[in-house]
Amino acid sequence: MNSIVIGSGFGGIAAALRLKAKGHTVKLIEKHPDLGGRARVF
Protein backbone atom coordinates (compact mmCIF):
# COMPACT_ATOMS: atom_id res chain seq x y z
CA MET A 1 0.00 0.00 0.00
CA ASN A 2 1.23 3.52 -0.77
CA SER A 3 1.05 6.27 1.85
CA ILE A 4 1.91 9.97 1.84
CA VAL A 5 2.90 11.85 4.99
CA ILE A 6 2.86 15.64 4.78
CA GLY A 7 5.25 17.36 7.18
CA SER A 8 8.41 16.01 8.71
CA GLY A 9 8.12 17.12 12.30
CA PHE A 10 8.27 14.61 15.12
CA GLY A 11 4.71 13.47 14.38
CA GLY A 12 5.27 13.11 10.64
CA ILE A 13 8.47 11.15 11.05
CA ALA A 14 6.84 8.90 13.67
CA ALA A 15 3.83 8.26 11.43
CA ALA A 16 6.07 7.49 8.45
CA LEU A 17 8.14 5.03 10.49
CA ARG A 18 5.03 3.24 11.80
CA LEU A 19 3.57 2.95 8.31
CA LYS A 20 6.89 1.68 6.93
CA ALA A 21 7.07 -0.94 9.69
CA LYS A 22 3.61 -2.16 8.62
CA GLY A 23 4.84 -2.65 5.05
CA HIS A 24 3.63 0.55 3.40
CA THR A 25 5.59 2.41 0.76
CA VAL A 26 5.89 5.86 2.32
CA LYS A 27 6.50 9.22 0.65
CA LEU A 28 7.38 12.02 3.09
CA ILE A 29 6.68 15.55 1.84
CA GLU A 30 8.32 18.59 3.47
CA LYS A 31 8.44 22.17 2.21
CA HIS A 32 11.86 22.85 3.75
CA PRO A 33 15.11 21.28 2.47
CA ASP A 34 15.79 19.54 5.80
CA LEU A 35 13.71 17.34 8.09
CA GLY A 36 12.56 18.02 11.64
CA GLY A 37 9.79 20.61 11.41
CA ARG A 38 10.06 23.18 14.20
CA ALA A 39 12.58 20.98 16.03
CA ARG A 40 15.18 21.44 13.27
CA VAL A 41 16.36 24.69 14.90
CA PHE A 42 17.63 22.70 17.89
Q: Are 13 and 35 in contact (CB under 8 A)?
A: yes
Strands (E), the chain: 2-6, 25-29
Task: Give the model confidence (pLDDT) of 6-42 as tens digits.
Answer: 999 999 999 999 999 999 999 999 998 888 888 877 6
pLDDT of residue 29: 95
* Residue 35: per-residue pLDDT: 87
pTM of the model: 0.82
Q: What is the model's pLDDT at position 22?
A: 97
Tell me the C-alpha distance between 35 and 24, whole Å: 20
Rounded-to-integer distance, Cα 22 and Cα 42, Å: 30
Dihedral (C-alpha) 25, 29, 30, 31: value to the nearest 10 degrees? 160
The pLDDT value recorded for residue 40 is 77
